[in-house]
Structure 1
Amino acid sequence: MSFTRAEEQNIERNLDITTETCPMTFVRVRLALDRMAPGQVLRVRLKGEEPLRNVPRTAAEQGHAVLRQESDGDATMLWLRKGG
């Protein structure tokens, strides 16, 4: 799945948590989402199996939408839309 140029421009914030370890990975994501308005999109760059498993699951449990997940072999990009 690929985003159009217009969809890419809808990303309000980027967050790189590739150097963080759990549980700080989701703590950083949650703090970023808390500072955003409902409907805004956060793009998160993460690395490792544990954050890849936990961040999308926990975000969805808290009412946020996981829009897309894409790996480049080194890291994974995750697009989250803040829930209301």
Structure 2
Amino acid sequence: MEHSSIELDLKGEVCPLTFVKTKLYMEGLKSGEQLTVIFSSESAASSVPKSVKDEGHTILGIDQEDKDTWKVHIKKA
């Protein structure tokens, strides 16, 4: 069974807006749905996963695509 992931592109955004936008988007998802958030900020790529995990969601992985792009894969609780 294939799980599709929705992408949220937050390149160019900075903390704390990156977490606020991620959190608001997560609220619209159903339990078990996956979201991939794309960041261009290394600080967002490290702080947002911690905050999302504190909210009870699961971090499935973090991929660094290139020197300025990170993808954070989240599964909604």
CA distance in 1, matches of 2:34, 2:17: 20
Question: Paired residues, what number?
Answer: 75
Taking structure 1 as the reference length, the TM-score comes to 0.83
Offset, 1:49:
2.1
Identity of aligned residues (%): 27
Structure 1 residue ranges, 4+ long, deviating more than 2 angstroms after superposition: none
The structure with the greater share of residues assigned to strand is 2
Offset, 1:69:
0.9
CA distance in 2, matches of 1:61, 1:50: 17
Whether 1:46 and 2:39 are equivalent positions in the alignment is yes
CA contact 2:42–2:70 (8 Å) conserved in 1: no
Listed as ranges, the gaps of 5+ residues in structure 2 are none
What RMSD over aligned residues (CA atoms) do the two structures have, in Å? 1.0
Listed as ranges, the gaps of 5+ residues in structure 1 are 1-5
Taking structure 2 as the reference length, the TM-score comes to 0.90
Q: Partner letter of residue 59 of structure 1?
A: V
